[in-house]
Structure 1
Amino acid sequence: MSRQIVTEPISANAFAPFGDLIEVSGTPDKIINQGQCGRYHDRARMSFAEGRAGISLFDANPRSLPYRLDMVERHPEGSQAFIPMTENPFLVIVALDEQGIPGQPCAFLTKSGQAVNYHRGVWHGVLTPLHSPGLFAVVDRIGEGTNLEEYWFDTPYQVVAEPNEAAG
């Protein structure tokens, strides 16, 4: 038996406890490149312990809804930004920390042009593109030491687009 989580559209306010929603919104902070480019400056709070920021490319297999969530992870030594390299939305699953373990997860769906930055220590699901190709640029900590903790749920969750959606 699984428990159900219904997805909701992501917004900066709803995602704020977990990290930064990275998107073009509002008026550009600066106009650059001879007036041909709006710069939306410093849209994510990157934070790293020892080590440095690095950019990696991920090519993840697409998943579908309903989605079985049996594990979340977190990175205590650094934030982690996922920037899609396609126009496709992706699934974002996060949970607040409750005395060292994840609390009730929630799930968001992005829209085209949105990326996320998970703050240090935030429990989150694995990279979950919903369409192929699942190409992402990832900015995260490169350095020595362990920067990954996993938590496996005793009873998995089922992430759905609509309440009471049947397992597929």
Structure 2
Amino acid sequence: MTIATVSYAGKTVVAEPLTPEGFAKYGSVISPDHQVLGAPTKGAGNVFTEPDIVKPVGFYSQSKFETKSHCSFNLQRFLPPAGLDREAKKYTMTVIERHPLSTQTFFPMGVDEKEAAYLVVATENDSDGLPDLNKLRAFVARGGQSVTYGAAVWHGSTCSVRGQLDMTMFMYTNGVAADITELVQIEGGLSIEY
């Protein structure tokens, strides 16, 4: 549901590499190259475990609608969006979204772990609860990295910077569009270089 249209006259945003520390204000990142610092211990399966690296949450008890929520895993297939110039490595983002009552996690599938796969874009609220585009940050996520946007965090739609990109997406939902997603249109777009 579109709740507002805003304009942006600021500078081009330059994307940085996605790291758990850099993204911490907006949610969580699963990035084995950053988080698995030792070798797995010997034993059944040679497993290294980093417990509770992401904590999915749903706040649908706060909804004004009397509905129940459930956990939903979705398969999503992305192609490079309109506004993406892969040759120039530029993207013009025209919409930003948030999910007020749930975190949202994306797991890329079938992509080389070192390949630049998608852009992650997030920002804080301004004083009116709309996205503060002047504080927007962009990150380049590799195929071996997953991202979780915190509940009510403004973020860009998934932007594949390769060809086709398949992802598993996890979030809580109650089936009520007004609870699930809020959109803000960016008049004239916002330019991101990656």
Structure with the larger strand share = 1
- Give the number of the structure whose residues are more often helix, by fraction: 2
Instruction: Please name the residue that 2:91 is paired with.
Output: 67
Query: Which residue of structure 2 aligns with residue 132 of structure 1?
Result: 163
Structure 2: stretches of 5+ with no match in the other structure: 1-7, 61-68
Gaps of 5+ in 1: 162-168
- Identify if the C-alpha distance between structure 1 residues 35 and 72 changes in structure 2 by more than 3 Å, giving closer, same or farther: same
Alpha-carbon distance in 2 for matches of 1:46, 1:151: 24
Q: Report how far residue 133 of structure 1 moved.
A: 2.2
Q: Is 2:189 the partner of 1:156?
A: yes
Equivalent position of 2:118 in the other structure? 90
Alpha-carbon distance between aligned partners in 2 of 1:153 and 1:48, rounded to the nearest angstrom:
27
Cα distance change, pair 48–81 in 1 and its aligned pair in 2 (3 A): same
TM-score (normalised: structure 2): 0.75
Question: Percent sequence identity over matched residues?
Answer: 22
Which residue does 2:28 correspond to in 1? 20
Which stretches of structure 1, 4 residues or more, deviate above 3 A after TM superposition?
A: 30-33
Of 118-127 and 19-28, more deviation after overlay is shown by 19-28
Provide closer, same or farther for how the CA distance between residues 76 and 113 of structure 1 changes in structure 2, counting only shifts above 3 A: same
Shift of 1:26: 3.0
Question: TM-score, normalization: structure 1?
Answer: 0.85
> Residue deviations 1:31-64, cap 9 Å, x none?
5971423223221121102312211110011243
Match of 1:102 among 131, 140, 155: 131
**1:21 positional shift:** 0.9
